[in-house]
Amino acid sequence: MNDQASEEKPQQGLEIISIYTKDISFESPNSPSVFQEVDKRPEAKIDIGVATVAVGEHVYECVLKLTITATIGEKNAYLVEIQQAGIFGLSGFKDKELNQMTGIYCPNVLLPFARESIADLVRRGGFPQLLIKPVNFEALYNQQQEAAQKQQESATH
């Protein structure tokens, strides 16, 4: 038996199987009165979440969830919610690497699709174009890991 072969890492594989919109909505609860304030640009607040579930052997669905709440003064101008999803084949990754792939890499793949859908919805809703800035999913992932570790530590004390 070859000892060198047994120590090698398994071949890592990544395949984008499918990308799709799982859920999407646009609401403009204060129209048409909100359009009377044409000199003001809506201020947008963006909430981001990522969820992953195994759907087969080495196959995972990753869902990027974005909620955009835009206001003009005290009025809600619009609300956009999207769940941009993808099916990814991920093989040969250790648990930590797999979590990083589904928490960092996969959302990075999904973001441009969500960004395009959001921009189109906002424009069709009669509002100025909304351009979502790049997201640092690595920083978000690290924050989530730190929060989970702190929660685990407080639960054991």
- Pair 49, 65: CB distance under 8 Å: yes
Domains and CATH numbers, the chain: 11-144 (3.10.420.10)
CA–CA dist 104, 139 (Å, integer): 9
- Pair 55, 35: CB distance under 8 Å: no
pLDDT at 125: 94
- The model's pTM is 0.85
Q: Which of 93, 122, 156 is nearest to 24 (CA)?
A: 122
For residue 84, the SS3 value is: strand
Q: pLDDT digit string (tens) for 53-67?
A: 999 999 999 999 999
Q: pLDDT digit string (tens) for 65-96?
A: 999 999 998 899 999 999 999 999 999 999 99
Indicate the average pLDDT of the chain.
90
